[in-house]
Amino acid sequence: MPGQRTHFEIYGDDPKALADFYATLFGWELEKVEGLEYWRILADPGDRSRVAGGLTYRPRSDPRGWLQFLDVESLDESIAMAERMGATVVRPKTAIPRTAWVAVLADPAGNMFAIWQTDPTAFPMPEPD
């Protein structure tokens, strides 16, 4: 069906290190494709027919792409873990009123992604005077 996402790809100069980064941060299973410098990302290892994405070398120095949003149980814990693993915060924790908390991060290779924690009570804090 047109418009449905089939998969996503993550690019980097050291794909093996990025595979380890995402496996640790999100619990994804990544498997290297035999004979290729490409790792399949299995977000649901129980259903191996559904490849969520792939990870490989950067095809050019400046690929453009869509930002992927990924659910996490705790935004604060995920941000802290990602930073310990070499990620940087691009946009800090922000409330989507009565919906969720979201933050945008960059992995160690500079690829941006967003993490999302559903929370119907989320609301921006007032600016201090």
User: Lowest mean pLDDT: which of 30-34, 51-55, 59-63, 108-112?
Assistant: 59-63
Cα dihedral 54, 19, 102, 60 sign: negative
Instruction: Inform me whether the pLDDT recorded for 49 exceeds 90.
Output: no
Euclidean distance between CA atoms 53 and 10, whole angstroms: 8
CA 75 to chain centre: 12
Euclidean distance between CA atoms 120 and 96, whole angstroms: 9
**Domains of the chain, each with CATH number or no CATH:** 1-59 (3.10.180.10), 67-123 (3.10.180.10)
Highest mean pLDDT among 1-15, 42-56, 87-101: 87-101
Structure-derived torsion over alpha carbons of residues 33, 39, 43, 45, reported in degrees to the nearest 10: 30
The pLDDT assigned to 119 comes to 94
Give the model confidence (pLDDT) of 75-125 as tens digits: 999 999 999 999 999 999 998 888 889 999 999 999 988 898 999 999 887
